[in-house]
Amino acid sequence: MKYYKHAFFTFLLLLSSLSFSQTTIYQFKVEDLMGETFDFEQYKGYKILIVNTASKCGFTPQYEDLEKLYETYKEDKFIIIGFPSNDFLKQEPGTNEEIAEFCKANYGVTFPMMNKIHVKGDEQCEIYQFLTDENLNGVSSEKVKWNFQKFLINRDGTLEKVIPSKTSPLDASIVDWIKEN
């Protein structure tokens, strides 16, 4: 019996010494549309909306509302980060340069846009693996269902909510979330 108590105590001691720090968005560095390194670490303490985008989708006009949202709340430590993807019916066929021009010319996008990536499948990029796998983000596992799906990251750098593509960026569920401390 004494051995089991000692073994149990040793197990508890070992368990308490392990670090259970949750993975955050801040560990990621990605490439933007211009080929520059974008380090999420620079946005510690911000609320972050991550969205996968496409220029030939029925939801493409959401760029306009995303830009309005960004302009309204960027001074409140809020940022939107767009990730173009061609994963859904080839609705983002352009090059990074063409995507940058399209976003600026048609919607006046000023929020950061990243390099075109895969948000699903075997080639899913690392940041979207994090966003869609509970084992990595500690919150939920949810597949990217379509273009303009939104992932809300809280000020601690952890995933808080996933918002469907059809939900407007100006919907109260998003605006209220930004306004919460």
Q: For 15-32, what is each residue's pLDDT tens digit?
A: 443 444 458 999 999 999
Give the predicted TM-score (pTM) of the model: 0.88
Residue 61 has pLDDT above 80, yes or no: yes
Is residue 31 in some structural domain? yes
Is residue 58 in some structural domain? yes
Interstrand relation of 78-84 and 47-53 (parallel, antiparallel or unpaired): parallel
Is residue 167 in some structural domain? yes
| Largest separation between any pair of C-alpha atoms in the chain | 75
Selection from 125, 47, 38, 142 nearest residue 86 by Cα? 125
Q: Are 34 and 100 in contact (CB under 8 A)?
A: yes
How many domains are contained in the chain? Answer: 1
Q: Are 50 and 83 in contact (CB under 8 A)?
A: yes
Is residue 117 in some structural domain? yes
Q: Which residues are catalytic?
A: 57
Is residue 114 in some structural domain? yes
DSSP H/E element including 155: none
SS3 state at 133: coil
Average pLDDT over residues 145-164: 97
Is residue 13 in some structural domain? no
Q: Which two tokens stand for residue 40?
A: 């999420």
Residue 12 has pLDDT above 50, yes or no: no
Selection from 46, 47, 64, 45 nearest residue 55 by Cα? 64
Is residue 9 in some structural domain? no
Domain holding 166: CATH number? 3.40.30.10
For residue 19, the model assigns a pLDDT of 40
* pLDDT (tens digit per residue) in 107-151: 999 999 999 999 999 999 999 999 999 999 999 999 999 999 999
Residue 5 has pLDDT above 60, yes or no: no
Is residue 10 in some structural domain? no
Which residues constitute the domain of residue 74?
24-179
For residue 65, the model assigns a pLDDT of 98
